[in-house]
Amino acid sequence: MVTLAFDVYGTLINTQGIQYTLAEMLHDEQQAAAISRRWREKQLEYSFRRGLMEQYQPFSVCTRQALSFALSEANVALSDDQCDQLLMAYRHLPAFPDAVSLLQQLSSMGVDAFGFTNGEAAIASELLANAGLIEDLKGIVSVDLLRTFKPAPRVYQHFLETADSSADNTWLISGNPFDILGARHAGWRTAWVNRTDAPFDPWGEAPDVTVPSLTDLAGKLGL
């Protein structure tokens, strides 16, 4: 039986769900959507930078600093309490609807499905529990113990050791192309969830499977 590693932020969990909390604060849905996107971009950028610099800070720190940047760039001033409210709301982001149905299906089939995340394990567990996904996952594997981030090669080896799996028997399912490329470099099989019909990075490599949603993934993987 294969082992499935599901990226959490952006694959199982809709990070853009935070824009609704922002919109309530700003009374401007368009601005809230733009800040939400920029927040996510800087969150990932900060994790990449820290990984390359070997100056680790937890993903929650990258998230807080990215929020500060996104608000400053947009010339939006929020109180400390409002920022804390946003960061707490980030632990209550919604699951993608297709994630709920797929994980339930995989659980009923006895497939080993894990959450695999740049976030700290405790925060990711809380997030997935709040989203109603935790019960259908065998476990959560976080990069926090290694003090670096995806797509560092040793992160993927850490998953294999934790899940007691092998590269040729493990699939990464992710909506993030950088994660797909990292897993392919580590010898894994990969499935890219391309919800926005975006082009893949032109690195001369492609995911083994590309799907527009998680709905038909089980069939695509031959499960």
User: Which residues are CB-neighbours of 216 under 8 A, at least 6 positions away?
Assistant: none
- The catalytic position among 7, 98, 136, 179 is 7
Which DSSP symbol is given to 15? Answer: G
Q: Answer whether 4's CB lies under 8 Å from 106's CB.
A: yes
The letter for the amino acid at 193 is V
φ/ψ of residue 83, rounded to 5: -65, -40
216 is catalytic: no
* 149 in Cβ contact with 51 (< 8 Å): yes
Roughly what angle, to the nearest 10 degrees, separates helices 80-89 and 59-73?
Answer: 130
Residue numbers annotated as active site = 7
